[in-house]
Amino acid sequence: MDLKEIIRAIPDFPEKGITFRDITTILQDGKYFKQSIEEMAEAAAEFDFNVIVGPESRGFIFGTPLAYKLEKGFVPVRKKGKLPFKTISKSYDLEYGSDIIEMHIDAIKKGDRILIADDLLATGGTARAIVDLIEEAGGVVAGVLCLIELVDLNGRKLFDGYEVRSLIKY
C-alpha cells in the first residue's frame, strides 16, 4: 500500500490555511506502521552511520524501531529540562516563536556517524538544531531521514552539504 494514501489530511489545523498531515493513521495499523519502518530502513541503508538520533516526540516513534531493526544505538533529543543528566542545548526558531532542545552531553562520542530520523521535515528548524548539537558533541552527521517532507516549506535549504531523504512528499 502507498503510505501517502494512508496519511490523513486535516485542513485548517493548527490554524486556518494549514493542512496537517496526521500519521496516527499509520501508527494505529500494525501493517502500515511496520511498512513505514521497513521503508525507512531501506532508505537508511544508503547512509553510513552507527547511531540514530530522534527528536521528541515523533522522532522517538520512528527512530527507536528503526534503530532496533538496524541494530544501531538511539539517542533521544528532548525539549529543555526533560533529560536527567548533564546536557548540551541549542535554541532554534519555530513558526510561532522559539524553543530549546537538549541532548545528554555523553550521548555521542567523537567521530560517531549519526543519522537523524524523524516523521516530518517542514521548515527544518528542529533538524538543523539537531545537526548543530551533533557537531558540537563531535559527531558527524551522515544524513537526515524523514517519513514525510512538506516541500513547499523549503526545509531542505538549511541542509546544504548534507544528505536528506524523505519517503513521502507533499
pLDDT digits over 126-147, tens only? 999 999 999 999 999 999 999 9
C-alpha cell at 149: 517532507
Q: How many CB atoms lie within 10 A of CB 83?
A: 19
Please identify every residue annotated as catalytic. Answer: 58, 95
> CA-to-CA distance for 10 and 15, rounded, in angstroms?
10
Residues constituting the chain: 170
Q: Strand, coil or helix: what is 27?
A: helix
Let me know: does 47 contact 145? Beta carbons within 8 Å. Answer: yes
pLDDT at 95 over 90: no
pLDDT digits over 146-168, tens only? 999 999 999 999 999 999 999 99
pLDDT at residue 10 in the model:
97
**Phi-psi map region of 3: left, alpha, beta (phi>0 left; psi -120 to 50 alpha):** alpha
Let me know: does 114 contact 49? Beta carbons within 8 Å. Answer: yes
Closest CA to 30 of 1, 9, 70, 71: 1
What is the pTM assigned to this prediction? 0.95
pLDDT digits over 19-48, tens only? 999 999 999 999 999 999 999 999 999 999
Contacts 24+ apart (CB under 8 A), 94-98: 94/123, 94/125, 95/123
pLDDT at residue 97 in the model:
78
